[in-house]
A and B are shown apart, each in its own frame.
Chain A
Amino acid sequence: MDKMVAGHSAAAWKKSGIGALVGAIVGAGTVAGLMHVAGTDFIDAMGGSRVALAGVAILYLLMAAFVGFGLAVPRTGARLLNVADADELREERAGMGRSVIVMGAIGAALLALALARTPSFPTGPVPAQAAAAVLALVIAGGVAASWAWRWQYDELNRQLGIEGGYWAFGLSWIGLTLWGAADFLGLGPALTAIDVVTTLAAMMLVGAFVAIGRRGLMMR
């Protein structure tokens, strides 16, 4: 029995490791490729805060792409994603499909915001009004979808949502309070409005991973 448990644990570690490695390679490759395409001048013009927001946006988009790929090709996807097997991807297609839509929409809205044309970034390729419209659409759509899909999630999903939100709020509160106080006291870098957006978006992801990880659900 112990050997079976150890064998399962080793397999779970191996699977998680492969998934993390592929994610890291694809993520790093995507970011490097985009930075190459954008060019150094463009990245410099964006500034640190926009680049950080774009980075978080790309994380959301990559996660949506990974899950979407898994749903499209369950057998390969099961090796990369945190699921028991390919059948789980087939059985949970509807729920995971909703996650793909939500993560993709959030990523697109954040990316539009990062690339928005403003006085501080006049070469931004996305008109400010368009970025605002995309963001408003995604938020309105998110609220409507949350209402429409409220019975589609079972109790584990809801519990993980609550725990993820708890961690996201706590970490955001600590981070933004310390950063804001440091800025106010002249002891640290300025906290801009876009940094708040980036921090909240990033902490939503971190909170979700903490909630999942604390329950041991990162390895299946």
Chain B
Amino acid sequence: MQNRVRDCREQAGWSQGELARRLGVSRQTINAVETDKYDPSLPLALRMARLFGLEVRELFIDHWMPEDE
């Protein structure tokens, strides 16, 4: 899933390690999320969004649309 985590992190002036520390995960996890190799769990996505002051849907981009009834 596409996301804006790298942009937000860089805007905040944090390294991957710093963001990992703030979220209580490994730097490997932050790298994998930023490079779209791992979709975080809902709790982690919520924490990321809260940390950046955004809604989850603003941080993670999903193009899925419900089919018309």
Q: Taking beta carbons and an 8 Å cutoff, which residues of A are in contact with B?
A: 83-84, 87-88, 91-92, 95, 154-157, 159, 215-217, 220
Residues of B within 8 A of A (CB): 16-17, 20, 24-29, 31-32, 35, 37-38, 40-41, 44
Contact A220 B31 (CB under 8 A): yes
Given A88-B28, A95-B26, A154-B25: 17 more A-B contacts, CB < 8 Å: A83-B28, A88-B17, A92-B26, A92-B28, A154-B24, A154-B26, A155-B41, A155-B44, A156-B25, A156-B26, A156-B32, A215-B37, A215-B38, A216-B35, A217-B32, A217-B37, A220-B31
* Nearest opposing residue in chain B for A156, CB measure: B29
Question: Which single member of A84, A155, A216, A220 contacts B25 (CB below 8 Å)?
Answer: A155
Give the 7 A-B residue pairs with the shortest CB-CB distance, closest first: A156-B29, A154-B25, A216-B37, A154-B26, A215-B37, A91-B17, A155-B41
Q: What are 5 A-B interface contacts by the 8 Å CB criterion?
A: A88-B27, A91-B27, A92-B28, A154-B25, A156-B28
Question: Which of B17, B25, B38, B41 touches A87 (beta carbons < 8 Å)?
Answer: B17
Q: How far is the CA of A216 from the CA of B39 in the complex (A)?
A: 13
Q: Most B CB atoms within 10 A — which of A84, A156, A220? A: A156
How many Å lie between the Cα of A88 and that of B38 in the bound state? 18
CB-defined contacts of B16 to chain A, threshold 8 Å: 84
Nearest-CB residue, chain A, relative to B35: A216
**Chain B residues in 8 Å Cβ range of A87:** 17
Closest residue on chain A to residue B15 by CB atoms: A87
CA distance A156 to B38 in the complex (A): 8
With A84-B16, A87-B17, A91-B17 known as contacts, the answer to whether A154 contacts B29 (CB < 8 A) is: yes
Distance in angstroms between the alpha carbons of A159 and B27 in the assembled complex:
15
